[in-house]
Amino acid sequence: MKFKGQVVLVTGASRGIGAAIARAFAQEGATVAVNYLANHAAADETVAACRAAGGDAWAVQADVGDAEAVRAMVDGVVLEAGRIDVVVNNAFRPYAFDPRHRKLFGDVPWSDYRAQFDGAVGAAFNVCQAVLPHLRQRARGSIVNIATNLVENPVVPYHDYTTAKAALVAFSRNLAAEQGPLGIRVNCVAPGLVYPTQASQATPEALREAITAATPLRRIARPEDVAGPVLFLASEWSGFMTGQVLFVDGGLVMK
């Protein structure tokens, strides 16, 4: 899965899953645009790790919830690198995965759903709107959106978050159907609980142990576990796949 000569944009790549994805692409020779919102120091660390892994990288700041900022970012990446081959929509609105403090359905205001929808689907919408004209010009490209296995196995009912990610899957499949004839593929990777990340820090040890016990591979995913399937879906090895969801949860969801 060599990506030498390819340009990859990873959103929310300053830490956690996004940083692991950026490093994995760099290790395969890609030039990586490391998008971040505010933590410039963390983004610089990801850039340094990408370069140490053998690729090239630079940090690009933009709020993916801001359509104008996203257009400026994408245009800047194309101006700097000459092209974009792969987009990974990983950024999402902050969320604490803590079942002890989650809201029951009756307590979840519609504004929480709307905020998560804007963070999941809205951000991917902004990035895809900005990048698709560049991909269509070259009649090729791969978009990988990060969903969650909770859409199939809501082991904890995080109502607003999971509903938004389910909408992201539908968004991705509609885009895959429309853009396929133009040579552009759109797929999703759906991780289970990934630890350690900033979002999963609030997940109690008892729940992590219960998920581990129920998982056929008997462990929790690490950020690096998500990177491999993302690279697969971005590569020519999956060249005849689009509109698919790969579950990366050690076998909790089998389909």
Domain map of the chain by residue range?
7-248
Closest CA to 201 of 96, 105, 115: 96
Name the active-site residue from 36, 95, 161, 195: 161
* Residue 188 clears pLDDT 90, i.e. is over it: yes
Q: Residue 204 corresponds to which tokens in the numbers above?
A: 């109690």
CB atoms within 10 A of CB 235: 16
pLDDT reading at 16 higher than 70: yes
Question: Is 161 annotated as catalytic?
Answer: yes
Closest CA to 22 of 59, 77, 73: 59
- What b-and-e string marks burial along 80-108, b requiring 16 or more CB atoms within 10 Å of the CB? ebeebbbbbbbbbbebebbeeebeeeeeb
Could you read off the pLDDT of 48-61 as tens digits, one per residue? 999 999 999 999 99
Region 7-248: CATH code: 3.40.50.720
Q: Say how far apart CA 191 and CA 114 lie, in whole Å.
A: 22
Residue 163's contacts (CB-CB under 8 Å, 6 or more residues apart) are: 113, 116, 117
What is the tens place of the pLDDT at every residue in 128-174?
999 999 999 999 999 999 999 999 999 999 999 999 999 999 999 99
Which one is predicted more confidently, 206 or 127? Answer: 127
